[in-house]
Structure 1
Amino acid sequence: MGPQAARLLAVLLVLGLWAPAGAQKPSPCRCSRISPQKRENCGFPGITSDQCFASGCCFDSNVAGVPWCFRPLPKQVSEECVMEVSARKNCGYPGISPEECASRKCCFSDNIFQVPWCFFPISVEDCHY
């Protein structure tokens, strides 16, 4: 085995150890709703879509100059609630409870300050790989 093959094997072993155990392909909404400029790299040069998805990341090679393998948006209770924070449209008022928000048929997430915690859902029809 030559030095290049040994380096490649070492890289693959490190990546195999780094990949989350039992990682699954993220849902289409968690991948397609993140703007290309906000993608956080999750792979390495030359990574395939299968390798990327196996590590629990998103893959999209349609936009040049940005990471093709990138971290997905956080999971939500409903796919209709998966969106960038900047896409949230207020559906409530400061201090609204999760129950009141749900009664309005809206999404609730209070883990980020200074953004709407109760926000309108988005149709999942536009989600794709």
Structure 2
Amino acid sequence: MGPRDAQLLAVLLVLGLCALAGGEKPSPCQCSRLSPQKRKNCGFPGITSDQCFDKGCCFDSRVAGVPWCFEPLPKQESEQCVMEVSARRDCGYRGISPEECASRNCCFSNLIFEVPWCFYPKSVEDCHY
């Protein structure tokens, strides 16, 4: 095997490892709590649910006219905290610390401005694939 073959083998090995590591199936809440109108396409026409989940995306074919394979909501520390920003209900006050928010048994995420950073959790009973 020559140097060129070794380079090709190395590239194929890296691509294979990336494919294996890339797709962690999102949680049910990351998928079912996203409004169909806000879905961002993550697949291609004819993609299967297994192929979609392998990419780390959500799959739901029950709504026509929107992507069936779509990007999940961001992961949170707790499943109860996974929700669209518009679903957040304020549980604190402006400038609340993560510790004070946690003492209220609420969720904290300060990644988006102009929305509540400390917000009430939601039951995970409504989450499904």
Residues 18/36 of structure 1: CA separation in 2 closer, same or farther (3 Å cut): farther
Which has the higher Rg, Structure 1 or Structure 2?
2
What is the CA distance between 1:19 and its match in structure 2?
5.3
Counterpart of 1:122 in structure 2 is 122
SS in 1 for 2:21: coil
The size of the alignment, in residue pairs, is 114
TM-score where L is the length of structure 1: 0.84
Q: Distance in 2 between matches of 1:58 and 1:127?
A: 13
Identical positions, percent: 81
What is the CA distance between 1:21 and its match in structure 2?
2.6
Counterpart of 2:10 in structure 1 is none
1:17-61 CA-partner distances (Å, limit 9, x unpaired):
985734111100000000000000000000000000000000000
Residues 18/46 of structure 1: CA separation in 2 closer, same or farther (3 Å cut): farther
TM-score where L is the length of structure 2: 0.84
Q: Which runs of 4+ in 1 moved over 3 A?
A: 16-20
Counterpart of 1:8 in structure 2 is none
Counterpart of 2:42 in structure 1 is 42
SS in 2 for 1:21: helix
Q: Distance in 1 between matches of 2:17 and 2:62?
A: 28
Where does structure 2 lack aligned partners over 5 or more consecutive residues? 1-15
Q: Distance in 1 between matches of 2:86 and 2:27?
A: 20
What is the CA distance between 1:112 and its match in structure 2?
0.2
